[in-house]
Amino acid sequence: MGAFHACFAAPPPVGKVPAINHHTVSEISADLACSTRIPLAGTPYWRLTAKDFGLTRRERSVLRRTFHDSTEQDHWLPAGMTYRKRAYQLFELSVETMVFRPVADPPPYLQDTAVNPLAGGIERRFRVIAPDHPVTEPTRRIAATVARGLVAAGVLAADRTPKCLVDAHYMSITAPGSPAPEGKHRDGLIAGSAHLVERRNIKRDSGISAIYDGGNADRELAGFELRRPLDSYVFDDERVLHYTTDICAARPSYPAYRNVLLIGFRQRE
């Protein structure tokens, strides 16, 4: 089978994924431009922008270069899906002190088949980002900003979730390709976040992210397009589902990709 042509003859994603409401997209994209916020208690999802993280120009450059220099082909996708490269990093987090400790030799990454029908039930190993890699500090700072928001929202708490494992997935998708081949889904986490790092030659209105009510999967809560570096969203994985539509090249004869840092928080045993 050849490469997966997501923009032209994509098979339907796993599960029903309703069409994105483009009126919602416009409203939320505008809101992203002026978003610096601490979520209220009980908030199931929220959005952030570059100014919320305070990274230096050098840190942003290191983050961009990591996707080009330190990712490798994702061999765990089904045959023919060759559009994704990735790398992985793991931190241990004390919620009480907000101290993140990078793990040098992380165990295999495992998801249940209920949340990932494509690769669930498989102990997957990815290329590991070492603790002394220069990207560790900017990634830690991004994760710490997300963690503080999760505490404010009541998703994380020192008494209920004192110790967490924090996964950092460096995901590079080449167009045409699918950021969410498993369809509308949960990740099997406490919470997660997605952070656009670089978007090159991607057609407008492709790569649209959406959040759905976890209790009513047909109810779309929000749809938005991450356009600028570090446009981000955070979600309570136990309360909502998420999905991102396929990406297409604006100019098909030129390189086109969407690089996103995904952060996941799960209970440490």
- For residue 154, what pLDDT band results from cuts at 50, 70 and 90? very high
Each residue's pLDDT tens digit, 65-118: 999 999 999 988 877 789 999 999 999 999 999 999 999 999 988 877 777 777
Select the more confidently predicted residue: 27 or 104. Answer: 104
Each residue's pLDDT tens digit, 184-200: 999 999 999 999 999 99
Each residue's pLDDT tens digit, 214-228: 999 999 999 999 999
Tell me the mean pLDDT in the region 106-131.
83
Tell me the mean pLDDT in the region 25-38.
39
Report d(CA 156, CA 184) in Å as an integer. Answer: 24
137, 55 contact by CB (below 8 A): no
Tell me the mean pLDDT in the region 29-50.
71
Report d(CA 115, CA 119) in Å as an integer. Answer: 9
In the chain, DSSP assigns E strands to: 45-48, 72-73, 84-94, 99-102, 163-174, 191-200, 208-213, 216-225, 232-236, 240-244, 257-267
Short-list 21, 16, 39, 34, CA closest to 152: 39
pLDDT of residue 80: 79
What value, to the nearest 5°, has the Cα angle with vertex 59 and ends 186 and 164?
35
Q: Model-level pTM?
A: 0.86
